[in-house]
Amino acid sequence: MAVWTTNVIIRATLPHMTTSYRALSALKHNCLACGGSCHGVRVSLLDDDERQRIAQYGETLKVKDPIDGRHLRQQDGHCVFQGDDGLCRIHATWGLMAKPLVCRQYPLIGVRTESGVRIGIDPGCYTAYKTRNSGTDQQPGEDFSTLSQSIDEQFIPVERGVLGLLSRPGIDIGLLFRALLGSGPGEGLPEGLASRWVRHLQTAGIDTCLAQEDAGKALRNALQPLLTTLPQWSGDEPPPWNALGAEENAWAVEVARRMIWLRLMPRWPSADVVCILVFLGAITQHWCGLQGEDFGRALSAWTRALRAPAFMRALAPAPESLLSVIQPPNA
């Protein structure tokens, strides 16, 4: 377990028991009430009691059919309880504790793995970058809910190894790319990767995916610089790679760590592939000329898109289609 020397052990005292949660680092976050988390997400309701309570709130607020099966219903790409001001009408009327459990604890996420319960702040929160250092320490509540995310044993050593690489102080994503792809020593991106990636993005149809109503306005807005800039690029002369700024590089590494630690892409269980997809997103936002908070928000949006089945079907309909992009033709 030496690769996880930065782990923080958090103990939450629950009725009749004490639970240990493992975190990569301090869980700092402040909600800035951006409303983005209410877009493009099907919120699961915990049980019949929660569904009944939410249905009653819907009647009081005159929200028609607020529940779709086991989820909060979406309308125009956002939760039916989201008001015109972008805020939750349940929260505004009855307070934080009246909201569904998933909404109350987000962006704090807990996953049950074969080696214990891990927790972390979802890097897909649109303001996660802004409050990652200055935010309030988050603690799991007494009713903290976790999901089960186990992976096949063959992928566990890969996960440990990638997390170890990502934990090295001052690591650069260009060097990590070369290490993950076995490109050997050198600087910058592996040869030909930029050209292959540009051509792939331009033919994948991601603009069509993001135009769908259920993608949500917040996701489209955050990735609009990519949609605007992508047609201007050329696979023959791709955008030049200049190393990310220190803050942007650190955020890209942290996003990859959180995505892997929390196993937020269960359809792609191999941590090296998840890491590469995050870094490709970071490179893409960098090519769009984004820096600071704009870069942080766009990369968070990219990780949300990676978890959307429709987006991933367009971006990588099969593992081999992605491998043909990230690996040289004769590799």
Note down the domain range covering 287. 153-326
| pTM of the predicted model as reported, rounded to 2 decimal places | 0.90
What pLDDT does 8 receive? 38
- Domain-embedded: residue 146: no
Write the pLDDT tens digit of every residue in 33-45. 999 999 988 898 9
What are the pLDDT digits (tens) for 108-122? 999 999 989 999 999
Tokens of 44: 């699961």
Within a domain: 34: no
Examine residue 88 and state whether it is found in any structural domain, yes or no.
yes
CB 77 within 8 A of CB 214: yes
Q: How confident is the model over 218-264, as pLDDT tens digits?
A: 999 999 999 999 999 999 999 988 889 999 999 999 999 999 999 99
Mean pLDDT on 199-212: 92
218 Cβ partners below 8 Å, 6+ apart? 34, 35, 36, 39, 40, 126, 301
Based on the fold, state whether residues 69 and 216 are members of the same structural domain.
no
CA distances from 231 to 31, 197, 227 (A): 35, 13, 8
- Residues of the chain with pLDDT > 70, as a percent, come to 91
| Region 197-204 average pLDDT | 93
What average pLDDT does the segment 307-322 reach? 84
Q: Which DSSP state fits 88?
A: B
Domain assignment present for 66: yes
Overall average pLDDT of the 79-85 stretch: 94
Q: Which of 265, 275, 271, 25 is nearest to 132 (CA)?
A: 25
Same-domain check for residues 95 and 227 = no
Say whether both 174 and 255 belong to one domain.
Answer: yes
* pLDDT of amino acid 3: 26
The string of pLDDT tens digits covering residues 263-281 is 999 888 899 999 999 999 9
Residue 144 lies in a domain: no
Instruction: Point out the domain boundary residue: 32, 65, 99.
Output: 99
pLDDT in tens, 121-130: 999 999 999 9
